[in-house]
Amino acid sequence: MSKIPLNTPVLDPRIKRVDLESTYGTTAIGENEHWISWEVFHQKKRGDQHVHVGIVHAPDAQLALLFAKEQFGRRLACVNLWVTKSSDIFSFSYDDEDIFDNATAPEKQYREASGFRVMEKINRYKKSKQKA
Amino acid sequence: MYGGGYIQEEKQEATSPIDDSQKLAEFEARIDRGEKIEPHDWMPADYRKQLIRMIEQHAHSEVIGALPEGTWITRAPGFRRKLALIAKVQDEIGHAHLLYSAAETLGKSREQMINDLLTGKSKYSNVFNYPAKTWADVTVIGFLIDAGAIVNQVANSKGSYGPYCRALERICYEESFHLKQGHDAFITLATGTKAQHDMLQDALNRWWKPIMHFHGPPDKISEHTAKLMRWKVKMATNDDMRNQFLDMYVPKILEIGITIPDPNLKKNEATGQWEFSDPDWDEFKRVINGDGPCNAERLAVRQYVEEHGKWVRTAMMNPNQKVVIPFA
Ligand SMILES: [Fe+2]
Ligand SMILES: [Fe+2]
Protein backbone atom coordinates (compact mmCIF):
# COMPACT_ATOMS: atom_id res chain seq x y z
CA MET A 1 0.00 0.00 0.00
CA SER A 2 1.28 3.41 -0.92
CA LYS A 3 2.04 5.95 1.75
CA ILE A 4 2.13 9.67 1.22
CA PRO A 5 5.79 10.48 0.80
CA LEU A 6 7.00 13.02 3.33
CA ASN A 7 7.21 16.57 2.01
CA THR A 8 4.50 15.93 -0.61
CA PRO A 9 2.48 19.14 -0.85
CA VAL A 10 -0.93 18.03 0.35
CA LEU A 11 -4.04 20.12 -0.14
CA ASP A 12 -6.59 18.35 2.01
CA PRO A 13 -6.81 20.07 5.41
CA ARG A 14 -7.77 16.78 7.09
CA ILE A 15 -4.32 15.49 6.23
CA LYS A 16 -2.65 18.64 7.43
CA ARG A 17 -4.51 18.51 10.73
CA VAL A 18 -3.71 14.96 11.70
CA ASP A 19 -0.61 12.91 11.70
CA LEU A 20 -1.82 10.49 9.10
CA GLU A 21 1.27 8.34 9.04
CA SER A 22 0.42 6.84 12.39
CA THR A 23 -3.11 5.73 11.51
CA TYR A 24 -2.84 4.97 7.87
CA GLY A 25 -2.68 1.68 6.06
CA THR A 26 -4.38 -0.82 8.31
CA THR A 27 -8.09 -0.25 7.89
CA ALA A 28 -10.30 -3.05 6.65
CA ILE A 29 -14.06 -3.01 6.92
CA GLY A 30 -15.62 -6.05 8.56
CA GLU A 31 -18.56 -7.81 6.94
CA ASN A 32 -21.84 -6.05 7.85
CA GLU A 33 -19.95 -3.18 9.41
CA HIS A 34 -21.80 -1.03 6.93
CA TRP A 35 -25.02 -2.69 8.05
CA ILE A 36 -27.95 -4.39 6.44
CA SER A 37 -30.27 -3.23 3.66
CA TRP A 38 -33.62 -1.58 4.12
CA GLU A 39 -36.17 -0.90 1.38
CA VAL A 40 -37.51 2.64 1.38
CA PHE A 41 -41.05 3.69 0.40
CA HIS A 42 -41.79 7.33 -0.29
CA GLN A 43 -45.15 9.13 -0.05
CA LYS A 44 -45.31 12.29 -2.10
CA LYS A 45 -48.46 13.77 -0.56
CA ARG A 46 -51.17 12.67 1.87
CA GLY A 47 -53.59 10.36 0.13
CA ASP A 48 -51.00 8.98 -2.32
CA GLN A 49 -49.64 5.44 -2.14
CA HIS A 50 -46.19 4.92 -0.68
CA VAL A 51 -43.92 4.07 -3.61
CA HIS A 52 -40.68 2.09 -3.47
CA VAL A 53 -37.71 4.36 -4.22
CA GLY A 54 -34.59 2.47 -3.18
CA ILE A 55 -32.37 1.12 -0.45
CA VAL A 56 -30.45 2.41 2.55
CA HIS A 57 -27.98 0.62 4.82
CA ALA A 58 -28.59 0.93 8.56
CA PRO A 59 -28.18 -1.05 11.80
CA ASP A 60 -31.81 -0.58 12.91
CA ALA A 61 -35.17 0.81 11.78
CA GLN A 62 -34.74 4.18 13.46
CA LEU A 63 -31.48 4.90 11.73
CA ALA A 64 -32.84 3.49 8.49
CA LEU A 65 -35.59 6.13 8.67
CA LEU A 66 -33.02 8.82 9.37
CA PHE A 67 -30.84 7.81 6.41
CA ALA A 68 -33.93 7.40 4.21
CA LYS A 69 -34.89 10.98 5.07
CA GLU A 70 -31.44 12.20 4.03
CA GLN A 71 -31.35 10.15 0.85
CA PHE A 72 -34.94 10.24 -0.40
CA GLY A 73 -36.62 13.06 1.50
CA ARG A 74 -34.24 15.97 1.05
CA ARG A 75 -35.31 16.83 -2.51
CA LEU A 76 -38.79 16.76 -4.04
CA ALA A 77 -42.07 16.70 -2.14
CA CYS A 78 -42.39 14.16 0.68
CA VAL A 79 -44.78 13.79 3.62
CA ASN A 80 -43.87 10.33 4.87
CA LEU A 81 -41.44 7.43 4.48
CA TRP A 82 -41.62 3.73 5.32
CA VAL A 83 -38.67 1.38 5.71
CA THR A 84 -38.66 -2.39 5.91
CA LYS A 85 -35.83 -4.88 6.00
CA SER A 86 -34.98 -6.12 2.52
CA SER A 87 -34.91 -9.64 3.95
CA ASP A 88 -38.58 -9.29 4.95
CA ILE A 89 -39.70 -8.76 1.36
CA PHE A 90 -41.19 -11.82 -0.31
CA SER A 91 -41.54 -11.88 -4.07
CA PHE A 92 -42.19 -14.06 -7.08
CA SER A 93 -39.30 -15.09 -9.25
CA TYR A 94 -39.02 -13.56 -12.70
CA ASP A 95 -38.60 -17.14 -13.90
CA ASP A 96 -42.34 -17.49 -13.27
CA GLU A 97 -43.19 -14.28 -15.11
CA ASP A 98 -45.53 -16.17 -17.47
CA ILE A 99 -48.05 -16.88 -14.67
CA PHE A 100 -49.16 -13.28 -15.13
CA ASP A 101 -49.61 -13.53 -18.91
CA ASN A 102 -53.28 -14.31 -18.32
CA ALA A 103 -53.90 -10.87 -16.88
CA THR A 104 -53.75 -9.14 -20.24
CA ALA A 105 -54.60 -12.09 -22.51
CA PRO A 106 -56.93 -11.28 -25.44
CA GLU A 107 -59.30 -14.13 -24.53
CA LYS A 108 -60.00 -12.37 -21.23
CA GLN A 109 -61.71 -9.47 -22.94
CA TYR A 110 -65.01 -10.52 -21.39
CA ARG A 111 -63.86 -8.85 -18.18
CA GLU A 112 -62.84 -5.55 -19.77
CA ALA A 113 -65.14 -2.59 -20.49
CA SER A 114 -63.71 -2.56 -24.01
CA GLY A 115 -64.84 -6.16 -24.47
CA PHE A 116 -68.47 -5.07 -24.83
CA ARG A 117 -69.78 -3.17 -27.84
CA VAL A 118 -73.21 -1.80 -27.01
CA MET A 119 -73.36 0.97 -29.60
CA GLU A 120 -73.35 -1.51 -32.46
CA LYS A 121 -76.39 -3.21 -31.03
CA ILE A 122 -78.20 0.04 -30.25
CA ASN A 123 -77.58 1.35 -33.75
CA ARG A 124 -78.75 -1.90 -35.31
CA TYR A 125 -81.93 -1.70 -33.22
CA LYS A 126 -82.54 1.96 -34.15
CA LYS A 127 -82.03 1.18 -37.83
CA SER A 128 -84.50 -1.70 -37.74
CA LYS A 129 -87.05 0.54 -35.98
CA GLN A 130 -86.74 3.17 -38.72
CA LYS A 131 -87.35 0.60 -41.42
CA ALA A 132 -90.40 -0.74 -39.67
CA MET B 1 -20.67 13.17 -11.05
CA TYR B 2 -18.81 11.03 -11.85
CA GLY B 3 -18.90 7.85 -13.82
CA GLY B 4 -16.11 8.43 -16.26
CA GLY B 5 -17.73 6.10 -18.72
CA TYR B 6 -14.45 4.34 -18.84
CA ILE B 7 -14.39 0.91 -17.26
CA GLN B 8 -10.82 0.38 -16.21
CA GLU B 9 -9.77 -2.96 -17.47
CA GLU B 10 -8.25 -5.71 -15.43
CA LYS B 11 -4.83 -6.93 -16.45
CA GLN B 12 -5.78 -10.53 -17.01
CA GLU B 13 -9.32 -11.53 -17.81
CA ALA B 14 -10.26 -14.51 -15.70
CA THR B 15 -11.83 -17.13 -17.91
CA SER B 16 -15.56 -16.99 -17.45
CA PRO B 17 -17.44 -20.19 -16.79
CA ILE B 18 -19.06 -21.48 -19.93
CA ASP B 19 -22.54 -20.03 -20.12
CA ASP B 20 -25.58 -21.91 -21.26
CA SER B 21 -25.96 -21.00 -24.92
CA GLN B 22 -29.75 -21.20 -24.99
CA LYS B 23 -30.05 -18.98 -21.93
CA LEU B 24 -27.56 -16.60 -23.46
CA ALA B 25 -29.68 -16.34 -26.61
CA GLU B 26 -32.80 -15.61 -24.54
CA PHE B 27 -30.88 -13.05 -22.50
CA GLU B 28 -29.62 -11.24 -25.58
CA ALA B 29 -33.07 -11.33 -27.21
CA ARG B 30 -34.50 -9.73 -24.10
CA ILE B 31 -31.92 -6.94 -24.24
CA ASP B 32 -32.60 -6.45 -27.96
CA ARG B 33 -36.29 -5.96 -27.15
CA GLY B 34 -35.29 -3.19 -24.72
CA GLU B 35 -36.26 -5.13 -21.58
CA LYS B 36 -34.45 -4.50 -18.31
CA ILE B 37 -32.50 -7.22 -16.54
CA GLU B 38 -33.29 -7.58 -12.83
CA PRO B 39 -31.02 -8.92 -10.05
CA HIS B 40 -32.41 -12.45 -9.89
CA ASP B 41 -32.61 -12.98 -13.65
CA TRP B 42 -30.16 -15.29 -15.33
CA MET B 43 -27.22 -13.34 -16.73
CA PRO B 44 -23.87 -14.28 -18.25
CA ALA B 45 -21.04 -14.31 -15.71
CA ASP B 46 -19.18 -11.72 -17.72
CA TYR B 47 -22.18 -9.36 -17.77
CA ARG B 48 -22.34 -9.56 -13.98
CA LYS B 49 -18.62 -9.02 -13.63
CA GLN B 50 -18.44 -6.02 -15.95
CA LEU B 51 -21.45 -4.40 -14.31
CA ILE B 52 -20.04 -4.84 -10.83
CA ARG B 53 -16.79 -3.29 -11.97
CA MET B 54 -18.53 -0.39 -13.69
CA ILE B 55 -21.06 0.44 -10.96
CA GLU B 56 -18.46 0.00 -8.22
CA GLN B 57 -16.00 2.34 -9.97
CA HIS B 58 -18.81 4.80 -10.48
CA ALA B 59 -19.67 4.68 -6.75
CA HIS B 60 -16.02 5.15 -5.73
CA SER B 61 -15.78 8.10 -8.12
CA GLU B 62 -18.66 9.79 -6.33
CA VAL B 63 -16.96 9.32 -2.94
CA ILE B 64 -13.50 10.37 -4.05
CA GLY B 65 -14.94 13.08 -6.29
CA ALA B 66 -16.44 14.75 -3.24
CA LEU B 67 -12.98 15.20 -1.67
CA PRO B 68 -11.45 17.95 -3.82
CA GLU B 69 -14.68 19.95 -3.62
CA GLY B 70 -15.35 19.13 0.02
CA THR B 71 -12.14 20.79 1.12
CA TRP B 72 -13.26 24.00 -0.58
CA ILE B 73 -16.54 24.38 1.32
CA THR B 74 -15.01 26.55 4.05
CA ARG B 75 -13.16 28.66 1.50
CA ALA B 76 -15.92 29.08 -1.10
CA PRO B 77 -16.48 32.78 -1.81
CA GLY B 78 -19.70 33.83 -0.13
CA PHE B 79 -22.50 32.21 1.80
CA ARG B 80 -24.58 31.19 -1.22
CA ARG B 81 -21.64 29.42 -2.90
CA LYS B 82 -20.88 27.61 0.37
CA LEU B 83 -24.48 26.43 0.69
CA ALA B 84 -24.58 25.26 -2.92
CA LEU B 85 -21.28 23.42 -2.52
CA ILE B 86 -22.43 21.70 0.67
CA ALA B 87 -25.59 20.57 -1.12
CA LYS B 88 -23.61 19.33 -4.11
CA VAL B 89 -21.11 17.38 -2.01
CA GLN B 90 -23.97 15.80 -0.05
CA ASP B 91 -25.60 14.82 -3.36
CA GLU B 92 -22.38 13.15 -4.52
CA ILE B 93 -22.18 11.04 -1.37
CA GLY B 94 -25.86 10.21 -1.85
CA HIS B 95 -25.02 9.06 -5.39
CA ALA B 96 -22.38 6.75 -3.96
CA HIS B 97 -24.97 5.21 -1.61
CA LEU B 98 -27.40 4.65 -4.48
CA LEU B 99 -24.68 3.07 -6.59
CA TYR B 100 -23.25 0.81 -3.87
CA SER B 101 -26.80 -0.46 -3.32
CA ALA B 102 -27.20 -1.12 -7.05
CA ALA B 103 -23.85 -2.93 -7.21
CA GLU B 104 -24.74 -5.04 -4.17
CA THR B 105 -27.69 -6.54 -6.07
CA LEU B 106 -25.07 -8.26 -8.24
CA GLY B 107 -23.48 -10.02 -5.31
CA LYS B 108 -20.55 -7.95 -4.12
CA SER B 109 -21.05 -6.49 -0.64
CA ARG B 110 -20.53 -2.86 0.14
CA GLU B 111 -17.83 -3.73 2.67
CA GLN B 112 -15.88 -5.63 0.00
CA MET B 113 -16.17 -2.73 -2.40
CA ILE B 114 -14.94 -0.21 0.17
CA ASN B 115 -12.08 -2.47 1.18
CA ASP B 116 -11.07 -2.77 -2.47
CA LEU B 117 -11.10 1.02 -2.74
CA LEU B 118 -8.97 1.40 0.39
CA THR B 119 -6.34 -1.06 -0.77
CA GLY B 120 -6.19 0.53 -4.20
CA LYS B 121 -7.52 -2.60 -5.92
CA SER B 122 -10.60 -0.83 -7.30
CA LYS B 123 -10.23 2.26 -9.41
CA TYR B 124 -12.18 5.49 -9.58
CA SER B 125 -12.38 8.26 -12.13
CA ASN B 126 -8.87 9.37 -12.96
CA VAL B 127 -9.61 13.10 -12.85
CA PHE B 128 -9.76 13.07 -9.06
CA ASN B 129 -6.09 12.26 -8.86
CA TYR B 130 -5.47 15.88 -9.82
CA PRO B 131 -5.49 18.73 -7.28
CA ALA B 132 -8.02 21.53 -6.86
CA LYS B 133 -5.54 24.28 -6.11
CA THR B 134 -7.78 27.33 -6.31
CA TRP B 135 -11.47 28.21 -6.24
CA ALA B 136 -11.34 28.31 -10.04
CA ASP B 137 -10.47 24.59 -10.06
CA VAL B 138 -13.70 23.94 -8.16
CA THR B 139 -15.70 25.82 -10.77
CA VAL B 140 -14.00 23.86 -13.56
CA ILE B 141 -14.87 20.62 -11.78
CA GLY B 142 -18.44 21.69 -11.02
CA PHE B 143 -19.07 22.80 -14.57
CA LEU B 144 -17.01 20.62 -16.90
CA ILE B 145 -16.34 17.40 -14.98
CA ASP B 146 -19.97 17.19 -13.97
CA ALA B 147 -20.93 17.96 -17.57
CA GLY B 148 -18.73 15.11 -18.80
CA ALA B 149 -20.28 12.79 -16.23
CA ILE B 150 -23.79 13.79 -17.25
CA VAL B 151 -23.11 12.86 -20.89
CA ASN B 152 -22.11 9.40 -19.68
CA GLN B 153 -24.82 9.01 -17.03
CA VAL B 154 -27.70 10.04 -19.27
CA ALA B 155 -26.53 7.49 -21.84
CA ASN B 156 -26.13 4.73 -19.26
CA SER B 157 -29.53 5.40 -17.67
CA LYS B 158 -30.95 3.79 -20.81
CA GLY B 159 -28.85 0.66 -20.33
CA SER B 160 -30.04 -2.86 -19.64
CA TYR B 161 -29.56 -3.36 -15.88
CA GLY B 162 -32.67 -2.25 -13.96
CA PRO B 163 -31.17 -1.24 -10.58
CA TYR B 164 -28.37 0.78 -12.23
CA CYS B 165 -30.82 2.58 -14.54
CA ARG B 166 -33.10 3.47 -11.64
CA ALA B 167 -30.19 4.84 -9.59
CA LEU B 168 -28.97 6.85 -12.58
CA GLU B 169 -32.35 8.43 -13.22
CA ARG B 170 -32.33 9.89 -9.76
CA ILE B 171 -28.68 10.88 -10.04
CA CYS B 172 -29.25 12.69 -13.34
CA TYR B 173 -32.03 14.73 -11.78
CA GLU B 174 -29.62 16.03 -9.11
CA GLU B 175 -26.76 16.52 -11.56
CA SER B 176 -28.72 19.18 -13.43
CA PHE B 177 -28.28 21.43 -10.39
CA HIS B 178 -24.55 20.59 -10.17
CA LEU B 179 -24.02 21.60 -13.75
CA LYS B 180 -25.99 24.82 -13.40
CA GLN B 181 -24.25 26.00 -10.25
CA GLY B 182 -20.88 25.13 -11.80
CA HIS B 183 -21.72 27.01 -14.98
CA ASP B 184 -22.85 30.01 -12.92
CA ALA B 185 -19.61 30.08 -10.90
CA PHE B 186 -17.58 29.57 -14.10
CA ILE B 187 -19.27 32.53 -15.84
CA THR B 188 -18.84 34.70 -12.75
CA LEU B 189 -15.07 34.22 -12.85
CA ALA B 190 -14.79 34.46 -16.64
CA THR B 191 -16.66 37.76 -16.78
CA GLY B 192 -15.30 39.18 -13.51
CA THR B 193 -12.08 41.06 -12.77
CA LYS B 194 -8.90 40.36 -14.68
CA ALA B 195 -7.54 38.43 -11.69
CA GLN B 196 -10.65 36.23 -11.64
CA HIS B 197 -10.53 35.67 -15.38
CA ASP B 198 -6.83 34.76 -15.27
CA MET B 199 -7.36 32.42 -12.35
CA LEU B 200 -10.06 30.58 -14.30
CA GLN B 201 -7.96 30.44 -17.46
CA ASP B 202 -5.06 28.99 -15.47
CA ALA B 203 -7.34 26.35 -13.90
CA LEU B 204 -8.81 25.34 -17.26
CA ASN B 205 -5.32 25.10 -18.76
CA ARG B 206 -4.33 22.66 -16.02
CA TRP B 207 -7.60 20.68 -16.23
CA TRP B 208 -7.89 20.38 -20.00
CA LYS B 209 -5.80 17.22 -20.24
CA PRO B 210 -7.71 15.37 -17.49
CA ILE B 211 -10.96 16.54 -19.08
CA MET B 212 -9.90 15.03 -22.40
CA HIS B 213 -9.00 11.82 -20.55
CA PHE B 214 -12.36 11.71 -18.77
CA HIS B 215 -14.29 9.48 -21.15
CA GLY B 216 -11.41 7.00 -21.48
CA PRO B 217 -8.91 6.03 -24.18
CA PRO B 218 -9.85 6.21 -27.86
CA ASP B 219 -12.02 3.35 -29.13
CA LYS B 220 -9.19 1.94 -31.22
CA ILE B 221 -7.16 1.10 -28.11
CA SER B 222 -9.92 0.08 -25.70
CA GLU B 223 -10.88 -3.55 -25.54
CA HIS B 224 -14.19 -5.38 -25.42
CA THR B 225 -16.35 -2.34 -26.13
CA ALA B 226 -18.39 -4.27 -28.70
CA LYS B 227 -19.74 -6.89 -26.29
CA LEU B 228 -20.48 -4.30 -23.61
CA MET B 229 -22.41 -2.25 -26.15
CA ARG B 230 -24.34 -5.29 -27.38
CA TRP B 231 -25.35 -6.06 -23.78
CA LYS B 232 -26.19 -2.39 -23.16
CA VAL B 233 -23.75 -2.20 -20.29
CA LYS B 234 -22.13 0.66 -22.16
CA MET B 235 -24.42 2.82 -24.25
CA ALA B 236 -21.90 4.87 -26.21
CA THR B 237 -18.22 4.48 -27.06
CA ASN B 238 -15.55 6.62 -25.36
CA ASP B 239 -14.97 8.60 -28.55
CA ASP B 240 -18.69 9.22 -29.09
CA MET B 241 -19.15 10.49 -25.54
CA ARG B 242 -16.09 12.73 -25.80
CA ASN B 243 -17.34 14.09 -29.12
CA GLN B 244 -20.77 14.79 -27.70
CA PHE B 245 -19.18 16.56 -24.71
CA LEU B 246 -17.02 18.76 -26.95
CA ASP B 247 -20.02 19.56 -29.15
CA MET B 248 -22.01 20.77 -26.20
CA TYR B 249 -19.39 22.53 -24.08
CA VAL B 250 -16.60 23.96 -26.25
CA PRO B 251 -18.95 26.75 -27.45
CA LYS B 252 -19.97 27.49 -23.85
CA ILE B 253 -16.30 27.94 -22.87
CA LEU B 254 -15.37 30.08 -25.85
CA GLU B 255 -18.42 32.37 -25.74
CA ILE B 256 -17.31 33.94 -22.47
CA GLY B 257 -13.75 34.68 -23.57
CA ILE B 258 -11.91 31.67 -22.11
CA THR B 259 -9.54 29.87 -24.46
CA ILE B 260 -8.77 26.17 -24.71
CA PRO B 261 -5.09 25.21 -24.48
CA ASP B 262 -5.02 23.08 -27.63
CA PRO B 263 -4.27 24.81 -30.95
CA ASN B 264 -5.37 21.70 -32.84
CA LEU B 265 -8.85 21.52 -31.34
CA LYS B 266 -11.42 22.02 -34.06
CA LYS B 267 -14.52 20.38 -35.38
CA ASN B 268 -14.28 18.69 -38.76
CA GLU B 269 -17.59 19.80 -40.19
CA ALA B 270 -17.46 17.12 -42.90
CA THR B 271 -17.28 14.20 -40.44
CA GLY B 272 -18.92 15.88 -37.44
CA GLN B 273 -15.95 14.72 -35.35
CA TRP B 274 -13.75 16.91 -33.18
CA GLU B 275 -10.03 16.77 -33.84
CA PHE B 276 -7.48 17.49 -31.13
CA SER B 277 -3.88 16.95 -30.05
CA ASP B 278 -2.99 13.67 -28.40
CA PRO B 279 -3.90 14.29 -24.74
CA ASP B 280 -1.02 12.07 -23.56
CA TRP B 281 -2.56 8.67 -22.96
CA ASP B 282 0.67 7.51 -21.34
CA GLU B 283 0.14 10.03 -18.56
CA PHE B 284 -3.44 8.75 -18.23
CA LYS B 285 -2.16 5.20 -17.73
CA ARG B 286 0.53 6.30 -15.30
CA VAL B 287 -1.94 8.24 -13.15
CA ILE B 288 -4.57 5.50 -13.16
CA ASN B 289 -1.96 3.05 -11.98
CA GLY B 290 -1.18 5.13 -8.92
CA ASP B 291 1.38 7.66 -10.00
CA GLY B 292 -0.69 10.84 -10.08
CA PRO B 293 -0.33 14.01 -8.03
CA CYS B 294 -3.10 13.12 -5.54
CA ASN B 295 -3.62 9.33 -5.62
CA ALA B 296 -2.00 8.75 -2.22
CA GLU B 297 -3.70 11.73 -0.62
CA ARG B 298 -7.18 10.67 -1.79
CA LEU B 299 -6.83 7.15 -0.39
CA ALA B 300 -5.26 8.42 2.80
CA VAL B 301 -8.27 10.61 3.49
CA ARG B 302 -10.65 7.69 2.85
CA GLN B 303 -8.60 5.50 5.17
CA TYR B 304 -8.65 8.15 7.84
CA VAL B 305 -12.41 8.56 7.60
CA GLU B 306 -13.13 4.81 7.68
CA GLU B 307 -10.85 4.24 10.61
CA HIS B 308 -12.05 7.20 12.65
CA GLY B 309 -15.70 6.49 11.92
CA LYS B 310 -15.37 2.90 13.04
CA TRP B 311 -16.32 3.53 16.69
CA VAL B 312 -19.51 5.27 15.58
CA ARG B 313 -20.50 2.35 13.37
CA THR B 314 -19.69 -0.10 16.12
CA ALA B 315 -21.63 1.88 18.71
CA MET B 316 -24.68 1.94 16.49
CA MET B 317 -24.51 -1.81 15.99
CA ASN B 318 -25.11 -2.31 19.74
CA PRO B 319 -28.02 -0.06 20.57
CA ASN B 320 -28.87 -1.95 23.75
CA GLN B 321 -25.47 -1.68 25.29
CA LYS B 322 -25.74 -0.09 28.75
CA VAL B 323 -24.07 3.20 29.38
CA VAL B 324 -21.32 2.71 31.92
CA ILE B 325 -20.93 5.60 34.30
CA PRO B 326 -17.28 6.46 34.81
CA PHE B 327 -15.90 5.85 38.28
CA ALA B 328 -14.30 9.18 38.79
FE1 LIG C 1 -22.28 15.87 -9.69
FE1 LIG D 1 -22.68 12.52 -8.76
Domain of residue A55, CATH code: 3.10.20.520
Cα B8 from Cα B159, distance rounded (Å): 18
**CB-based contact, A71 to chain B, within 8 Å:** yes
Compare all CA atoms of chain B with the CA of A4 and give the residue at the minimum distance: B296
Residue B211: per-residue pLDDT: 97
Residue B46 has pLDDT above 70, yes or no: yes
Cα B276 from Cα A80, distance rounded (Å): 52
A107 and A72, same domain (yes or no): no
Do the Cβ atoms of B247 and B274 come closer than 8 Å? yes
A70 and A109, same domain (yes or no): no
Interval B147-166: pLDDT, tens: 999 999 999 999 999 999 99
A84 and A102, same domain (yes or no): no
Residue A49: per-residue pLDDT: 97
Residue A33: per-residue pLDDT: 79
Interval B50-93: pLDDT, tens: 999 999 999 999 999 999 999 999 999 999 999 999 999 999 99
Residue B324: per-residue pLDDT: 63
Mean predicted confidence (pLDDT) in A106-129: 92
Cα A45 from Cα A53, distance rounded (Å): 15
A103 and A62, same domain (yes or no): no
In a domain, A19, yes or no: no
Backbone angles phi, psi at B130, to 5 degrees: -110, 150
Residue B219: per-residue pLDDT: 84
Compare all CA atoms of chain A with the CA of B164 and give the residue at the minimum distance: A54
Residue B113 has pLDDT above 80, yes or no: yes
A83 and A99, same domain (yes or no): no
Residue A14 has pLDDT above 90, yes or no: no
Backbone angles phi, psi at B135, to 5 degrees: -60, -30
Who has greater pLDDT, A18 or B230?
B230
Residue B13: per-residue pLDDT: 46
A56 and A98, same domain (yes or no): no
Who has greater pLDDT, B208 or B324?
B208
- pLDDT bin (cut points 50, 70, 90) of residue B12 is very low
Single-letter residue type at B230: R
Mean predicted confidence (pLDDT) in A55-67: 93
Q: Do B304 and A18 touch (CB under 8 A)?
A: yes
Contacts of B164 (CB under 8 A, 6+ apart): B51, B55, B99, B102, B156
The alpha carbon of B90 and the centre of ligand 1 are apart by a number of angstroms equal to: 10
Percent pLDDT > 70 in chain B is 91
Cα B253 from Cα B135, distance rounded (Å): 17
Who has greater pLDDT, B319 or B243?
B243
Cα B130 from Cα B138, distance rounded (Å): 12
For A123, A125, A132, B110, the CA distances from A119, given in Å and listed in that order, are 6, 10, 20, 61
In a domain, A29, yes or no: no
- Closest partner CB to A15 (pick from B104, B174, B297): B297
Mean predicted confidence (pLDDT) in A44-54: 96
Residues in chain A closer than 8 A to B296 (CB atoms): 2-5, 8
Cα B199 from Cα B182, distance rounded (Å): 15
Residue A36: per-residue pLDDT: 86
**CB-based contact, A25 to chain B, within 8 Å:** yes
Residues in chain A closer than 8 A to B305 (CB atoms): 14
Interval A63-110: pLDDT, tens: 999 999 999 999 889 999 999 999 899 988 888 889 998 888 889 899
Q: Do A29 and B118 touch (CB under 8 A)?
A: yes
Compare all CA atoms of chain A with the CA of B41 and give the residue at the minimum distance: A94
Domain B34-279 = CATH 1.20.1260.10: yes
Interval B255-268: pLDDT, tens: 999 999 999 999 99
- pLDDT bin (cut points 50, 70, 90) of residue B17 is low
In a domain, A125, yes or no: yes
In a domain, A100, yes or no: yes
Residues in chain A closer than 8 A to B115 (CB atoms): 28-29
- pLDDT bin (cut points 50, 70, 90) of residue A44 is very high
In a domain, A13, yes or no: no
The alpha carbon of B79 and the centre of ligand 2 are apart by a number of angstroms equal to: 22
In a domain, A21, yes or no: no
Q: Do A4 and B38 touch (CB under 8 A)?
A: no
For A108, B23, B27, B30, the CA distances from A101, given in Å and listed in that order, are 11, 21, 19, 16
Residue A19: per-residue pLDDT: 54
Interval B290-302: pLDDT, tens: 889 999 889 988 9
Q: Tell me how many domains chain A contains.
A: 2
Cα B71 from Cα A46, distance rounded (Å): 40
A83 and A39, same domain (yes or no): yes
CB pairs below 8 Å between A and B: how many?
111
Say which range, A7-21, A41-55, B27-41, B271-285, has the weakest mean pLDDT: A7-21
Residue B287 has pLDDT above 60, yes or no: yes
Q: In which domain, by residue range, is A109 found?
A: 94-131
Residues in chain A closer than 8 A to B303 (CB atoms): 23-25, 27
A82 and A118, same domain (yes or no): no
A78 and A106, same domain (yes or no): no
Average pLDDT value over all residues in chain B: 90
